[in-house]
Amino acid sequence: MNQTWSARMRGFALLVLAALSAQAQATQEPFKLGIAPHTSSRVILELYQPLRTHLEKALGMPVEVQTAPDFTEFARRALHQDYDLVVTTGHQARLLQTDAKYLPMLTYKADFKAVAIVPIKSSFKTAKDLKGTTAIGLSATSLVTLWGEHWLKAQGMGQVPVRYVSAADSVAQLLLAGEGSAGFVSLANFQKLAPNVQSQLRFLAESPTMAGRVYMLNARQGAKKERLLKELWAFAGTDAGRQYFEKNNLEGYRLLRKRELESMDPFAAEVRRTLQQK
């Protein structure tokens, strides 16, 4: 009788502990994974679901994927320390490193390039043909848009008005609808457009390789850096990780090269100026 009673009490105690543990996890502050808005929020949440699930299990805590309406707001939120781990293009990564002490971690093996695209049937052959027209970009502080504006200036075009939209597929659709002359998107996002959309567009210019999406750790999470690095490499070796890289033409993770982020200083300075003006 006493043994039965003791077993019941132990079982009850285990149930209570399990309930308390579940309650503690439910009320625990989530680890915030901030993703720059290179595409729509819906697509970002879908793309990073496998990584979110992996990190949640590895860290034993809730993990939330968050983004922002545009690159400027994303930079503002990241500088405000709203995220624990950020994935953003090299110029914002450099800004977060210099201005908010975020710690560089990893980037992707695949080259990152920006491209200027135009409808295949358009008469635009060079930058000078865009005079008096309106281009389309993702945001005033997105790397592809900043590169496009630098390219136009280098071609002697000065200021060409740029209309900002939220995603690469929106850039493509507006171009095909005749609502802009040229659009600035990443090569990776162009390659993810539907084949029937890609076939109606062509490149007007292509950038050199630049620092692409970089993983940056908030300094307040610095104690977790080695553990997170280990888990990111582990994710890369899983079936879900390999599928993620293959689906998005990313080829896997790699360490940053020497001075790779420093090369983004001119673009980072423009983001800083934009934020200071608002």
| Confidence at residue 27, expressed as pLDDT on a 0 to 100 scale | 59
Q: Do domains 28-111+211-277 and 114-206 have the same CATH topology?
A: yes
State how far the Cα of 153 lies from the Cα of 236, in Å rounded to an integer. 40
The band of 13, judged by pLDDT with boundaries at 50, 70 and 90, is: very low
| Confidence check: pLDDT of 20 > 50 | no
Q: How far is CA 133 from CA 123, 130, 141, in A?
A: 12, 5, 21
- The fold of 114-206 is D-Maltodextrin-Binding Protein; domain 2 (3.40.190)
Name the one residue in this structure whose structure tokens are 């939120």. Answer: 77
In which element (H, E) is residue 118 found?
Answer: strand 114-119
CB-neighbour burial class of residue 18 (10 A; exposed 0-12, middle 13-18, buried 19+): exposed
**pTM given for the model:** 0.83
The band of 3, judged by pLDDT with boundaries at 50, 70 and 90, is: low
**What are the residue ranges spanned by the domains of the chain?**
28-111+211-277, 114-206
Segment 99-110, tens digit of pLDDT: 999 999 999 999
| Confidence check: pLDDT of 24 > 50 | no
State how far the Cα of 269 lies from the Cα of 249, in Å rounded to an integer. 29
Render the burial of 203-217: b for 16+ CB within 10 Å, e for the rest: ebbebeebbbbbbbb
Q: What is the CATH number of domain 28-111+211-277?
A: 3.40.190.10
The most confident of the ranges 157-161, 191-195, 233-237 is: 233-237
